[in-house]
């Protein structure tokens, strides 16, 4: 399967929702949440088949000096192991050269990132989060 990588923001929220659902990342993605997320990231890169079908997506934040953080990195299950994930990560690394890239590698994704040259820190690192309550306006 051949594909093209692009940083043009042409992914629709429906395509994004279908991609996330195909990879088992839940459902219920809506237009407003997608637009807020997509516009917040300074870098969004996607992969499409030559027929235009969305195959993969990655988003990233960077301070341009010390830290780049991956947001979502997702590839359709039937398009995995074709180099798409590596190409998407390569686009992030190229956009922020020399800046360490950090990922939240869940489950089997750890093996993928290790195969891409990422390594675990020597000190324990724990991902923590807090979801504050919604505030009514």
Q: Which is it for strands 43-49 and 68-75: parallel, antiparallel or unpaired?
A: unpaired
Give the model's confidence band at 62: pLDDT under 50 very low, under 70 low, under 90 confident, else very high. Answer: very high
Top CATH class of 3-115 equals: alpha beta
What's the pLDDT at 126?
A: 82
pLDDT given at position 8:
96
User: Residue 87's pLDDT is what?
Assistant: 97
Q: Are 61 and 91 in contact (CB under 8 A)?
A: no
pLDDT at 22 over 80: yes
Q: What are the pLDDT digits (tens) for 29-58?
A: 899 999 999 999 999 999 999 999 999 999
Contact of 128 with 94, CB cutoff 8 Å = no
SS3 of the chain? CCEEEECCCCCCHHHHHHHHHHCCCCCCCCHHHHHHHHHHCCEEEEEEECCCCEEEEEEEEECCCCCEEEEEEEECHHHCCCCHHHHHHHHHHHHCCCCCEECCCCCCHHHHHHHCCCCCCCCCCCCCCCCCCCCCC
For residue 136, pLDDT over 80 is answered with no
pLDDT in tens, 73-105: 999 999 999 999 999 999 999 999 999 999 988
**Distance in angstroms between the alpha carbons of the first and the last residue of the chain:** 48
Question: Which pTM value belongs to this model?
Answer: 0.88
Segments making up each domain of the chain, as ranges: 3-115
Question: Across all residues in the chain, what is the average pLDDT?
Answer: 93
């Amino acid at each position: 399967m051949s594909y093209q990588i692009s940083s043009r923001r042409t992914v629709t929220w429906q395509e994004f929702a279908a991609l996330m659902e195909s990879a088992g990342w839940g459902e219920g993605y809506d237009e407003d949440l997608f637009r807020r997320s997509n516009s917040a990231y300074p870098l969004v890169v996607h992969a499409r088949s030559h027929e235009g079908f969305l195959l993969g997506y990655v988003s990233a934040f960077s301070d341009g000096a010390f830290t780049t953080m991956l947001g979502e990195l997702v590839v359709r299950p039937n398009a995995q192991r074709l180099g798409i994930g590596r190409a998407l990560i390569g686009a992030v690394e190229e956009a922020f050269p020399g800046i360490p890239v950090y990922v939240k590698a869940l489950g089997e994704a750890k093996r993928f990132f290790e195969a891409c040259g990422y390594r675990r820190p020597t000190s324990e690192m724990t991902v923590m989060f807090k979801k504050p309550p919604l505030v009514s306006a």
